Structure 1
Amino acid sequence: MRCVVGQQSIRNLIESLQTHRVNTLTELCRIERVAASCDSEEDARAFQGPMTAAWNYYVTSNQMLSELRGLTRSYPFCGDILTEAQASVRNDPDSNRSWNLAWLCLVKIQDDNLIATYAASEAARPEMWGGRMPEPEEADQLAACFQYEWDMAVHNMLRHWSVAPTWY
């Protein structure tokens, strides 16, 4: 049995991954679901490399950061969070449990409590307060706003996967 789509469609989907014509979370997840529906080991293997490379490109091309910032218009998502998550995933021996770098980064952001850490440090920066040092209460209030909006964005992105995209 073959994937839900025909062979020509499989080739077209793989080509769209390889040429980066598809580089949004929603579209990559759609193709990932098609790949997961493959009953044929040959078809599933054909998707494996291009899908892995496409997720890597999605994260490293700053598209993921752009989409996170699109979800956090009031308090733009801190790029350093994603940078640290990527480094942490790449240094984690368990990161080979998935082909999906975006999912691994989102999980790492949650598991390592990166949002709370960065929300507090960003909120305390004098640059956020016109060059003056904020009062602790002010920094705490801004950190809570950052944390709420950034947590919601990560949560919304993780909702794209009803099942974790893992090998085991």
Structure 2
Amino acid sequence: MSRSAGPGPTTVSTTRPQQYQLVSPGTPADPRSMSQNNKDQLVQSLRTHRVNTITELRRIEKIFAFLDSAEVTEPMTTAWAHYVNSNNLLNELRGLTRTYPFSSECLDEAKAMVVRDPSSTRSWNYCWLVLVKMEKENLIMKHARALASKASTWGGRRPTKEEFDRLVNACVAEWTRALRQMLKHWDKPPSTTGN
């Protein structure tokens, strides 16, 4: 039995000055005209965590932002929390930082700060909040210095000031580049409706 491949992802021009690709070819060009079945399938993919990359979550988030429906808020919020808390965010950050693997302690501190921050309820996007918190609170520098201060980093010997500074600068450069690359997934901050 042969199957013919369907068309690739649809590019959508919206009234907003942005373009994006829909998740599946079967989704209508205008997300507002999406069938209940298509919407249910996207919700199910979020609930079962079949979607677990920042790129795919953002694509669904953009569709749901157009729908502006309360029924998609909880699954989208839960999917973002799962993405961050199941180490998918850390894995993607570490995939971008192969020379100096991204600090899990830095990510954990940002997550804790978001949870304690009452203003974090303004967005359904826990991932975006965590990434922005890392940037605004200068957590990358803090944790690069913490890494360089550990005796285990140096095999028990004391580094010279030049070695310490070189490691801190290298970590800051690589981690910051990864953080900025992740933040590029948003052209503007998500709101309570996701975009």
C-alpha change, 1:95 and 1:142, in structure 2 (3 Å) is same
Aligned residue runs from structure 1 range 1-168, under 5 A: 3=32, 5-38=34-67, 41=68, 44-167=69-192
Greater alpha carbon shift after TM alignment, 118-127 vs 93-102: 118-127
Q: Is the 8 A contact 1:23 1:63 kept in 2?
A: yes
What is the rounded CA distance, in whole Å, between the counterparts of 1:140 and 1:93 in structure 2? Answer: 36
What is the rounded CA distance, in whole Å, between the counterparts of 2:94 and 2:34 in structure 1? Answer: 33
Highest CA radius of gyration, 1 or 2? 2
What TM-score do you get using the length of structure 2 for normalisation? 0.81
What is the rounded CA distance, in whole Å, between the counterparts of 2:92 and 2:32 in structure 1? Answer: 29
Structure with the bigger percentage of helix: 1
**Aligned residue-pair number:** 164
What is the rounded CA distance, in whole Å, between the counterparts of 2:105 and 2:93 in structure 1? Answer: 12
Question: Superposition RMSD on alpha carbons, in Å?
Answer: 1.5
State the identity %: 46
Cα distance, 1:5 vs structure 2: 3.0
Greater alpha carbon shift after TM alignment, 122-131 vs 10-19: 122-131
C-alpha change, 1:2 and 1:25, in structure 2 (3 Å) is closer
For residues 108-140 of structure 1, the C-alpha deviation after alignment (integer angstroms, 9 at most, x for no partner) is 000100000111110121211121111111111
- Structure 2 segments unaligned to the other structure (5+ residues): 1-29
| Counterpart for residue 5 of structure 2 | none
Secondary structure at the aligned position of 1:146 is classed as: helix
- Structure 1 segments unaligned to the other structure (5+ residues): none
What is the rounded CA distance, in whole Å, between the counterparts of 1:4 and 1:117 in structure 2? Answer: 47
Cα distance, 1:8 vs structure 2: 1.2
What is the rounded CA distance, in whole Å, between the counterparts of 1:4 and 1:31 in structure 2? Answer: 15
Secondary structure at the aligned position of 1:105 is classed as: helix
C-alpha change, 1:2 and 1:109, in structure 2 (3 Å) is closer
Cα distance, 1:163 vs structure 2: 1.7
What TM-score do you get using the length of structure 1 for normalisation? 0.93
What is the rounded CA distance, in whole Å, between the counterparts of 1:96 and 1:2 in structure 2? Answer: 25
What is the rounded CA distance, in whole Å, between the counterparts of 2:39 and 2:150 in structure 1? Answer: 49
Residue identity opposite 1:36 in structure 2? A
